[in-house]
Amino acid sequence: MIAKSKVYQALAIAGAALFLTACDPAESSDQAATAPTEQDARAFVERAEQELAEMSVHAARTAWVGANFITEDTQALSAKSGEEYTTLAVSLANEAKRFNDLDLPYDLDRKLEKIKQQLTLAAPADAAKTKELATITTNLEADYGKGKYCKADGSCRTLGELSEVLRTSRDPDELLDAWVGWRTISKKMRAPYQRMVELANEGANELGYADTGAMWRSKYDMPADEFSGELDRLWGQVKPLYEALHCHVRANLNEEYGAEVAPASGPIPAHLLGNMWSQSWGNVYEMVAPENADPGYDLTKILKEKGYDAKKMVETAENFFVSLGFEPLPDTFWTRSLFTKPRDRDVVCHASAWNIDNVDDLRIKMCTEVNSEDFQTVHHELGHNFYQRAYNQQPHLYKESANDGFHEAIGDTIALSMTPRYLVDLGLIDEQPAADKDIGLLLKQALDKIAFLPFGLMVDQWRWQVFNGEISPEEYNAGWWKLREKYQGIKPPVARSEEDFDPGAKFHIPGNTPYSRYFLAHILQFQFHRDLCEIAGNKDPLNRCSIYGNKEAGERLNQMLEMGSSKPWQEALEAMTGSREMDATAILDYFAPLKTWLDEQNQNRQCGW
């Protein structure tokens, strides 16, 4: 996870209300009477960049303190600075729309668009409607955050407790109860969500966009209407692998639970896949794993035996990037980061990477444990830090990844190089396991990364169709499940109706967090990995390649990273890969041994849904 500052959408809209009610009507009239010029636009952008840069540092510092010293006071300070930042962002976005009709130079026009695109939901100009939107979004997120499944006997369970049932239980009645129970918290979200869509679309129209979905898609350096088609193109490239995985998992679930619970054909009931949203299936690995899948080593055990602690894990991850030719992290990284959970206070333990001053005050915040999962996570988080530093010479509005999928993809690209070969180079194991041991490792990865792809795609497909009216309010739930079946081959385990609002049971819907970035990250990480391995002269199968120690690969990687978002993502991609097009076939190359194995397992099975 990358963290610049804690900017919440509810605060952004509340900030809009503060700005709009504080404006001087005479001043607004004066601005409207004079047609804006290119010189006006340039002066505005220079001022906006300076104000955003200064405010972002303050917001980041207070957010850091709020996350690392959780008290009522620090939370209040963090919320206040977040409100101030988002008030500024909304006011600047509203100012930027004055220049919509000007024919401006590329760089100036790009920066104006970025000022507008900082908003996730655009507030209408009507102050009363803006306040209403702020209230709705605040309440939606609060309803999710405090949601619990309570039974008639007064017992209640949280999302974490219900998710643990789905993760560990093999009792279909328990699974069904937990699955249905969590979705009771979202029923009341339907009406306010409908009103939120109406208000947000009005705000997007005022900024010059057809609807909120078009505003979101406009961030991807291509016509908004073409972007959803581009995602479907990428999905089409990997769909055969997903279908093979789906077929194998469904057959094993059928064997485990019987046809009455888990039919041998058609969509898979959503409560059986070990995850509340069926977005990753790693928790059912033991049911679907090949025989003798053990790779022959236990990395967690080895790390502990070798005397690794949290700091040594971070130092090892830093050394990965240094081996590629990157400069070591600054001394302040080691004195200001949080590596382990403190004993004397509460902190937000979710791993995140920070650049407090947008230059070189790089940090991570992580309650690191010595295990294989956190060893990988540390490498991922440092991928964010080295990306942040690479583009720190760009103007403020370009200090971000080429598109919002790139940042997560870079961290995961590095994690893909954490192969047994890398472990041999580190002296953690003596030799790579035989190739036949790769199937278990690949299947574990596929149950998370490949299983996620259609879910990562359909969440925003649903929202875009809601925003543009293709899915009417009367068919919110039916539209959700139609897309889930189309893309995932998943169905609800019991009948659902329009009294339900199952989309709201996923945080990113009431939280209004765009989701396509996660789909793109899952595609791009494999494309980046394949191209970097080719640059490094790799001769091994792609799933066995590590770019550790290859400075030519590091140089090409840096050429892309240092561009930030100063150019369209297509140019950033070309700087490293030589191609301007995203390509999901790298996933097929990476998982080729697994696809062969899955096809063997699926002989005489009826695949598809």
Q: Kindly list the averaged pLDDT for each block of 10 residues, start to end, along the chain of length 609.
A: 47 36 38 80 96 92 88 83 80 89 94 89 86 88 89 91 95 97 96 96 91 94 91 96 98 97 97 96 93 84 96 97 97 96 84 93 94 92 96 96 93 93 95 88 95 97 97 98 98 97 95 93 97 95 96 96 96 94 97 96 95
> Of 489, 516, 543, which one is at a domain's C-terminal end?
516
134 within domain boundaries: yes
Residue 134 confidence (pLDDT) = 84
29 within domain boundaries: yes
Residue 210 confidence (pLDDT) = 95
Same domain, 126 and 175: no
Same domain, 157 and 128: no
500 within domain boundaries: yes
575 within domain boundaries: no
Residues 6+ apart with CB under 8 A from 436: none
506 within domain boundaries: yes
> Of 494, 516, 538, which one is at a domain's C-terminal end?
516
Same domain, 33 and 159: no
Same domain, 168 and 109: no
Say if residue 403 is exposed, middle or buried (CB neighbours under 10 Å; 0-12, 13-18, 19+): buried
Residue 33 confidence (pLDDT) = 56
Same domain, 6 and 69: yes
> Of 495, 516, 537, which one is at a domain's C-terminal end?
516
Q: What angle do CA 234, 240, 244 make, to 5 degrees?
A: 140
Number of domains in the chain: 2
CB neighbourhood size of 306 (10 A): 12
Same domain, 267 and 170: yes
Q: Judge whether 384 and 353 are in contact, CB under 8 Å.
A: yes
572 within domain boundaries: no
Strands 149-150 and 156-157: antiparallel
Same domain, 289 and 174: yes
Residue 24 confidence (pLDDT) = 38
CA distance linking residue 354 with residue 403, whole number of Å: 18
5 φ, ψ (degrees, to nearest 5): -160, 160
Same domain, 79 and 111: yes
103 within domain boundaries: yes
Same domain, 242 and 118: no
Give residue 469's region: left, alpha or beta (phi > 0; psi -120 to 50): left
Same domain, 74 and 158: no
Same domain, 109 and 181: no
The residues assigned a catalytic role are 350-351, 380-381, 384, 408, 508, 518
Query: For the whole model, what pTM was predicted?
Result: 0.90
182 φ, ψ (degrees, to nearest 5): -65, -30
431 within domain boundaries: no
Residue-number span of the structural domain to which 114 is assigned: 2-138
Same domain, 156 and 52: no
